[in-house]
Structure 1
Amino acid sequence: MENKELKFKTNINCGGCVAKVKPALDSAEGVNNWGVDTDNADKILTVSTEGISEEKVIEIVKAKGFNIERV
């Protein structure tokens, strides 16, 4: 399985928001690491993956109440 980097535009805009999605993304199978650039106007979520689909990442973030779309 190859590592891929997925990028998404979100409305995760502060440390509290990051903390809300952290447990779900940390425990998601196939996510190596991830981060949100809260300084970027588009609040870019970058996920380094090993096997998780874009759809699954979107599902996880939406389930936490945030907007997310592919970049």
Structure 2
Amino acid sequence: MNEIKFKTNINCDSCIKSVKPFLDEAVGENNWKVDTTDERKVLTVNTTEDEEEIVEAVTDAGFKIQKIEE
């Protein structure tokens, strides 16, 4: 599995609940987390899926997302 990190605007528990069904379907439950304490609101995903699927899931949920190049 690859760990991919994204900058998002998912900034609270309510936002996480909104995006949860989209990300659970795209990459599976327990394969992602959002650090709302980081100013970038970092979404970390452990997946074998293409990053475009993750971007699509988050944008379909109504949030912004940008891959963090490390």
**TM beyond 0.5:** yes
5+ residue gaps, structure 1: none
Residues of 1 paired with 2:10 and 2:22: CA distance? 14
Residue 70 of structure 1 pairs with residue 67 of structure 2: yes
Percent identical across equivalent pairs?
Answer: 51
1:13-71 CA-partner distances (Å, limit 9, x unpaired): 0000000110111122x446100000000000000002x11111001100111000010
Residues of 1 paired with 2:22 and 2:65: CA distance? 15
Match 1:24 to one of 9, 22, 25 = 22
Aligned length: 67
Residues of 2 paired with 1:11 and 1:49: CA distance? 21
Provide the alpha-carbon RMSD of the alignment: 1.2
Using the size of structure 2 for normalisation, the TM-score is 0.89
Dislocated runs of 4+, deviation >6 Å:
none
Secondary structure of 1:26's counterpart equals helix
Residue 39 of structure 1 aligns with which residue? 37
Using the size of structure 1 for normalisation, the TM-score is 0.88
5+ residue gaps, structure 2: none
